[in-house]
Amino acid sequence: MARYTSSTDVARLAGVSQSAVSRAYTPGASVSAETRRKVLEAAEVLGYRPSLIPGIMLKHRSRLVAMVVGGLYNPFYATVLELFATRLQEIGNQVLLIHVDSGFSLDEAIPRLAGYRVDAVVSALAVLSQDAAAALARLEIPVVCFNTPLKNEWVSSISSDNREAGGAMADLFIAGGAGTFGYITGPRGSPANEDRLAGYRDRLLQRGFRDLQIVEADFHYEGGRDAAMTILGRPNVPDAIFCANDLMAMGALDAIRKHARITVPDDLQIAGFDGLSAAAWSAYNLTTFEQNVAEMVERAIEIVNASVAQQRAPGGISMEVPARLVERGSTRRVR
């Protein structure tokens, strides 16, 4: 295997010192234009590329940010990934992508994170156990996640206001004439799902409605479709169904279309959560809550930047960003 070209090789060919090679690749360093020209020409001849490792060891900063991703079957997470990667690179960071099998928890990624020298960790997934939160804190780098119920000195959370959104959806259904209600959940253990359900159920109780059918699914399109088939097979089909995300709501809508005696929204109102672009397609015309992903990503990056610049823990910040209700043809209001 060929040996990597070193800065010593470049210095020898350029006729300069090794420190001059280092300064030539350091923004703002003192080096003459002639010396920089010699270094760059020698580097081009030798195929030299500077290593980041010495700078990491000297400054204790890698400018690497770990992004933990999962659930990429859902376009929502792909949107978050793109926004995070774009913004982090705009401010001079590089992204280290770490994939986990879960669609809502990053806990399994922690052993891999410990092996990298990264400046921060960001994710749209949640931290779900105290042991995981403590393990992240031991890394002594800022960790910012979406919809995380656990936080500590180093772990912070940015969330949509899931409870308030659940309550607002109950109000919307009631305004549309619904008197019985359903909820298609995500998997147990998902904090966002549990908060949406809690807000929805509590508001229904406040408004005097106790009839709530709950069917557990898995955040996938197929899960929503199968859960809707289960509900449609029962003697008492609810007037309105809230789904924990848009993918399941789309699956539910497709299942309902096969049920000849039920139409949306006249017989059954349905809504989702996330604000996927596909929710606006004429085939679905789905009412949803649109998560303000751009705002959530921006707040996460602000926390990371402040913590890294000040070289201290961010202090366990918890922040909620309102979601926006987008009414479409899958729900109706009684005028």
Strand partners for 95: 65
Query: Which pLDDT band holds residue 52 (cuts at 50, 70, 90)?
Result: low
CATH number belonging to domain 7-51 = 1.10.260.40
More confidently predicted of 30 and 208:
208
Which is higher by pLDDT, 3 or 131? 131
Summarised one tens digit per residue, pLDDT across range 154-193 is: 999 999 999 999 999 999 999 999 999 999 999 988 999 9
* Residue ranges of domains in the chain: 7-51, 62-159+293-322, 162-291
Q: Whole-number mean pLDDT of the chain?
A: 90
CATH superfamily entry for domain 162-291: Response regulator (3.40.50.2300)
Instruction: Examine the pLDDT at 204 and tell me if it is beyond 70.
Output: yes
Give the mean model confidence (pLDDT) for residues 55-78: 78
Residue keyed to tokens 């986990």: 100
Confidence of residue 25 (pLDDT cuts 50, 70, 90): confident
d(CA 192, CA 74): 15
**The Cα angle at residue 142 between residues 141 and 145, in degrees rounded to 5:** 135
Q: What percent of the chain has a predicted confidence (pLDDT) above 70? A: 93
Q: Which of 26-30, 40-44, 89-93, 252-256 has the largest mean confidence?
A: 252-256
Considering the entire predicted model, what is its pTM? 0.82
Query: Tokens 């995981």 appear where?
Result: 132
- Rounded Cα distance, 219 and 223, in Å: 7
- Is residue 121 within 8 A of residue 66, CB to CB? The reply is yes
Would you call 40 exposed, middle or buried from its count of C-beta atoms within 10 A (0-12, 13-18, 19+)?
middle
Is 62-159+293-322's fold the same as 162-291's?
Answer: yes
Q: Residue 199 pLDDT > 80, yes or no?
A: yes
Is CATH 3.40.50.2300 the right assignment for the domain spanning 62-159+293-322? yes
Strands 240-243 and 181-185: parallel
